[in-house]
Structure 1
Amino acid sequence: MTLQGKHVLITGPTAGIGHTTALALAAQGATLTLLCRSPEKGAALAGEITAAGGAAPIVVEMDMASLASVRQAAQECLALGRPIDVLLNNAGVVNTSRRTTVDGFEETLAVNHFAPFLLTGLLLPAIQEVPGARIVNVASAAHHFVRDMGFDDLHAEQGYKTFREYGRSKLANILFTRSLAQRLADYPVTVNSLHPGAVSTSLGKQNGGLVSRVVPLLLKPFFRSPEKGAQTSIYLCSSDEVAGVSGEYFVDCKPVRPKPWARDDEAAARLWRVTEESVGFQYPV
């Protein structure tokens, strides 16, 4: 579909593939709402977009490690009074040690899954106003690292392993996509997930010090340039080829079968129930 004049919301747009994706979508004529933890970085990106001739974006502050912040950001987005043509859940985090959020959740799961789950649900009324609207979730091939969600220790209280927790959060993205697509089957809204390839310039930087240099090295097999990493996100947000396609997982702009544990409907249903209870929000579908 043409993005000219379309309203696109994107999380994590100021670095890595998010930055590249935001610039590309704006260049196609989209009007962006940038959901950013740093308003200053959001303003800088907005200036970059307008300097390139794009429509002036709206910057909304949102800290995905806080459910209250996610709720406030969603309220601000809805208050714009504009239907949402595309929601791109792009932001993500990977930690090398266990951290908890202000809500008491393990941070990797909270930021990578709980936050986009809640944000999407809160914004769904504005998304459903647009026939053909799209929800795009950036997952990862890191779901290969695990074989289940580990429901008995979902918040890694019994021991933290970087790649296991990150892999489970990305598995959650795919299971969430699967469940939401089923729930939206009777609506003209699609939802798909993708593996972009990590970008070494941003992933893991929040850990600081030596860790911020080690994590990118450990994840090097997944690295791509921001331009290549953004291709599938851009494709799912804009291509006519995926109009009407829903519930799929894409790699290199092609649908791919994820691992069997990412196609487990029972696990997806259980994750949905646990997540609704955890974030205190029940989906309207």
Structure 2
Amino acid sequence: MKWTERDITDQTGRVAVVTGANTGLGFETARALAEHGATVVLAVRDVEKGKKAAARMTGDVTVQELDLSSLESIRAAAADLHGTFPGIDLLINNAGVMYPPKRTTRDGFELQIGTNHLGHFAFTGLVLDLLLPVQDSRVVTVSSLAHSVRADIHFDDLQWERSYSRTAAYGQSKLANLMFAYELQRRLVRHGTTISVAAHPGLSSTDLMRNSPAVVRVTSPLISPLINQKAEMGALPTLRAATDPAVLGGQYYGPDRLGGTRGHPRVVTSTPESYDVTVQQRLWAVSENLTSVKFPV
């Protein structure tokens, strides 16, 4: 069977928070959840763009300011959500940056590891207490095929201070996303209410590629017709991970065709390195220290 948006179960009464939901994959994820009855929060850096995105959706949709490159903003957003909702059913860690020139976050982290991993790590830790009391709640973390491309967790230079490769830094951040999702699931098991799941979109046509290296921009027009898919399709693995009643904690969802680059969502596997428990736990400890966020699990 080919899982599609039509397979999304009724989400009425559920609260879903989607980061980076004003465009691309996040927009399509939020739109589909709202259309199926969920109360959806677009957690976005640019509130005005978020409002414009919300206006294009049908259903109960609100906007929450969230800049994942700022721990101050993350703490403020978490406080706002605590003041608004008694519980959260779905947290979808979707936002991200890809291949930017070397930059740092407001807290001095390399932009890609700081936004894609550390920002979501901190945000999840600060709102997880809103999910734990809710039966069948889920944290879905969006990774990428790039978790296998020149990817390693460089504990000796996590912030790329000695040298910088935008491709390797992105791969590190996406590998970190997966390791976080797997380690979080291991910690959630004892609670029995919330699960952690991962997903990746394959290769999808979004503006995330705007900072791609020159070689990617040159070859993209040649390969795009073969492997790129629309954002609506790229969002399906995330939507299945978030809504399919058969999903199990610790699973990883991605497209089913052409090496995972496109198609309908199914359970997939990640690289052997991503399953290394020792590295997962070390990354967790480092992330806690860097963000000063302790999880309630």
Give me the TM-score of the superposition, normalised by structure 1.
0.91
Deviation at 1:260, TM superposition (A): 0.6
Is 1:225 matched up with 2:240?
A: no
For residues 125 and 144 of structure 1, the distance between their equivalents in structure 2, rounded to whole angstroms, comes to 32
For residues 162 and 205 of structure 2, the distance between their equivalents in structure 1, rounded to whole angstroms, comes to 29
Alignment CA distance shift 1:190-1:201 (3 Å): same
Partner of 2:261: none
Tell me the alpha carbon deviations over residues 171-210 of structure 1, each in whole angstroms, 9 at most, x when there is no partner: 00110011100000012111111111243331043x59x9
The answer to whether the 8 Å contact 1:203/1:216 transfers is no
The answer to whether the 8 Å contact 1:8/1:87 transfers is yes
For residues 118 and 96 of structure 1, the distance between their equivalents in structure 2, rounded to whole angstroms, comes to 22
For residues 216 and 284 of structure 1, the distance between their equivalents in structure 2, rounded to whole angstroms, comes to 46
Tell me the alpha carbon deviations over residues 110-145 of structure 1, each in whole angstroms, 9 at most, x when there is no partner: 000001101111101110120110110000110111
Is 1:164 matched up with 2:168?
A: yes
Let me know the Cα RMSD of the aligned residues. Answer: 2.1
Deviates more, 1:139-148 or 1:98-107: 139-148
Alignment CA distance shift 1:214-1:38 (3 Å): same
Aligned positions of 1:49-88 closer than 5 A: 49=57, 52=58, 54-55=59-60, 57-88=61-92
Tell me the alpha carbon deviations over residues 207-228 of structure 1, each in whole angstroms, 9 at most, x when there is no partner: 59x97x9399399587321011
Deviation at 1:95, TM superposition (A): 2.7
Alignment CA distance shift 1:110-1:222 (3 Å): farther
Aligned positions of 1:40-55 closer than 5 A: 40-49=48-57, 52=58, 54-55=59-60
Aligned match for 2:217, one of 204, 214, 218: 214
Q: Which amino acid aligns with 2:120?
A: P
Deviation at 1:6, TM superposition (A): 0.8
Q: Which amino acid aligns with 2:251?
A: E
Partner of 1:24: 32
Partner of 1:129: 133
Tell me the alpha carbon deviations over residues 230-258 of structure 1, each in whole angstroms, 9 at most, x when there is no partner: 1111111111121xx11122112222221
Partner of 1:93: 97
Is 1:259 matched up with 2:264?
A: no
The answer to whether the 8 Å contact 1:204/1:215 transfers is no
Q: Which amino acid aligns with 1:202?
A: D
For residues 148 and 227 of structure 2, the distance between their equivalents in structure 1, rounded to whole angstroms, comes to 12
Alignment CA distance shift 1:88-1:183 (3 Å): same
Partner of 1:9: 17
Aligned positions of 1:108-187 closer than 5 A: 108-187=112-191
Aligned match for 2:200, one of 191, 195, 201: 195
**Structure 1 residue matching 2:153: 3-state secondary structure:** coil
Q: Which amino acid aligns with 2:138?
A: R
Alignment CA distance shift 1:157-1:78 (3 Å): same
Q: Which amino acid aligns with 1:227?
A: E
For residues 60 and 264 of structure 1, the distance between their equivalents in structure 2, rounded to whole angstroms, comes to 35
Size of the aligned set, in residue pairs, is: 276
Partner of 1:277: 289
**Structure 1 residue matching 2:253: 3-state secondary structure:** strand
Q: Which amino acid aligns with 2:217?
A: V
Q: Which amino acid aligns with 1:171?
A: L
Aligned positions of 1:236-251 closer than 5 A: 236-242=241-247, 245-251=248-254
For structure 1, list consecutive stretches of 5 or more residues without a partner in the other structure.
Answer: none
For residues 106 and 215 of structure 1, the distance between their equivalents in structure 2, rounded to whole angstroms, comes to 27
